Amino acid sequence: MSGDIESRKKLVAKREKEKKKKPKFVRQESWRYKRLKENWRRPRGLDNKVRKRVKGWPASPNTGYRGPKESRGLHPSAFKEVRVFNLDDLNKINPELEAIRIAASVGNRKRAEIIREARERGIHVLNPREFRELEEPIAEKGT
């Protein structure tokens, strides 16, 4: 998955183009009953038409529908996604190839530090979340 950003953007574009040709896999009979969402569920019944691949019924997902190997794991921005929990994780990041996603369990203070450090190093942040910068605590007046 090496190469410059332009070649990876072409790979992502190719993946998106191929994705348009693939069917949208929906849960069987979700079009028939309001109570069933379209989220894919694997058909498991004995006489299930989708499981048996009966003609006229929708296709089910399989490895033949998989995307190009080179573009797997790439974010649509053509960077490889890396999850970050603390400042030390930023040392392992290559800004040309990788972008960071700050973990959900990281609080606002540490998040602000990570974003500040990432901007200084030129690392792309995928989920920068809007919030105010934390101000320094005001010193109390001594009596």
| pLDDT (tens digit per residue) in 16-41 | 998 899 999 999 999 999 999 999 99
**Model confidence at 142, in pLDDT bands (50, 70, 90)?**
low
**pLDDT tens-digit profile of 8-18?**
899 899 999 98
Q: Would you state the pLDDT for residue 139?
A: 63
The range of the structural domain enclosing residue 93 comes to 80-125
Answer yes or no: is 74 within a domain. no
- DSSP classification of residue 30: T
Residue 136 lies in a domain: no
Which of 103, 75, 70 lies closest to 87 in space, CA to CA? 103
The whole-chain average pLDDT of the chain stands at: 89
Give me the number of domains the chain comprises: 2
Q: 19 with 42, same domain?
A: yes
pTM above 0.75, yes or no: no
> 57 and 97: one domain?
no
Residue 101's φ and ψ, nearest 5 degrees, are -120, 120
